[in-house]
Amino acid sequence: MLPAWGHQLATVLGSVCVGWGGGGGSALVTLTFHLFNHYGLIELFRLDMVKLRRFLVMIQEDYHSRNPYHNAVHAADVTQAMYCYLQEPKLSKSLTSCDILLGLLAAATHDLDHPGVNEPFLIKTNHYLAALYKNTSVLENHHWRSAVGLLRESGLFSHLPAEDGLNMERQLGSLILATDISRQNEYLSKFREHLDNEDLCLANACHRHFVLQMALKCADICNPCRPWELSKQWSEKVTEEFFHQGDIEKRYKLEVSPLCDSQANTIGNIQIGFMTYVVEPLFAEWARFSDTRLSRTMLGHLGLNKASWSGMLQELAGGADDGAQEGAEVPAEDGNSKALPQGSKES
């Protein structure tokens, strides 16, 4: 299930992702532990391996396997993508071990305890999380606070000076909060301005942190940039989750959220809109920052996937038109004619 942009991970992952329905087995634990070891973070930060393993298992278990999309498989997928971005030349030669540690932790925990519904749903149903976080980045704040809770429960950083631990928690929160899609334009405009002014300095800790935020944002929504067969599966899963929310809203006579009405939307039109207005602008700027083979490959897949969805929509539209024409051609005067129903043609 996890694609290999970083081919060296393929042998590590093996078959740990046993399928969507099983929540990906232990993929998140296995991958994140391997990456901590790969970067030497266990030794550098004097992490207790038992505590680390316990912390990662708690993360895995805190994701909801019943969610079609926001589950531990997605977290592992984002962590794998984050690793690929951390390996890009501009980042690999500039990031500190602390940056890498925070980047991997943020990727693994960025959707922790996701309820499978979006922020507007939580707000309009007066959910306690919406009240707790004052209707602002409700899910992202919850993911961050949940991650901090597990860090403290596991005692992973208990051997560090208290101020260092608190600083790590704050920076972790800053990264996770950056994944709030409602703030997309804010981050993208800032990124674009830096690139236009050519003033990003990765020797500056604040600039490195900002680039880590952008890398995590890319990792979080990179599925349209993966090969078609894999990208299509992710698209189906996220749409399934949207439509499930829409069904709940209909059941309780709530206003159906945008993209969540299965009668008004298709996977194709949702994906084309998402690619056009969210993914393309972000990855175009990322390619300006990191003009590498990986960036060009991602943009290539993005273009091909968008074309594939457009083609599928055209086929569906053509099928519907053919059905209408066939229905119109049935002779009205022939009482013995048995016209087949055309409504199911596009399936």
Task: Report the binding-site residues for Zn(2+).
Answer: 74, 110-111, 220
- Residues contacting 319, CB < 8 A, separation 6+: 345, 346
- Residues contacting 188, CB < 8 A, separation 6+: 281, 282, 285
Residue of 70, 194, 244, 301 marked active site: 70
70 a catalytic residue:
yes
Residue 230: Cβ within 10 Å count: 16
Cα torsion at 315, 316, 319, 324 (round to 10°)? -140
- Residues contacting 15, CB < 8 A, separation 6+: none
- Residues contacting 157, CB < 8 A, separation 6+: 45, 151, 164, 165, 168
Binding site feature residues: 70-74, 110-111, 220, 271
In 220-322, at which residue ranges do the beta strands (DSSP E only) sit? none
Dist. CA 3–CA 265, nearest whole Å: 28
Rg (CA), the chain: 23
Q: Is 58 in contact with 109 (CB distance < 8 Å)?
A: no
Q: Is 266 in contact with 313 (CB distance < 8 Å)?
A: yes
Binding site feature residues for AMP: 70-74, 111, 220, 271
For residue 206 the two structure tokens come to 């604040």
State the DSSP H helix or E strand holding residue 177, giving kind and residue range, or none if neither.
helix 162-177
Dist. CA 178–CA 193, nearest whole Å: 17
- Residues contacting 249, CB < 8 A, separation 6+: 121, 255, 256, 257, 260
Which positions are annotated as active-site residues? Answer: 70
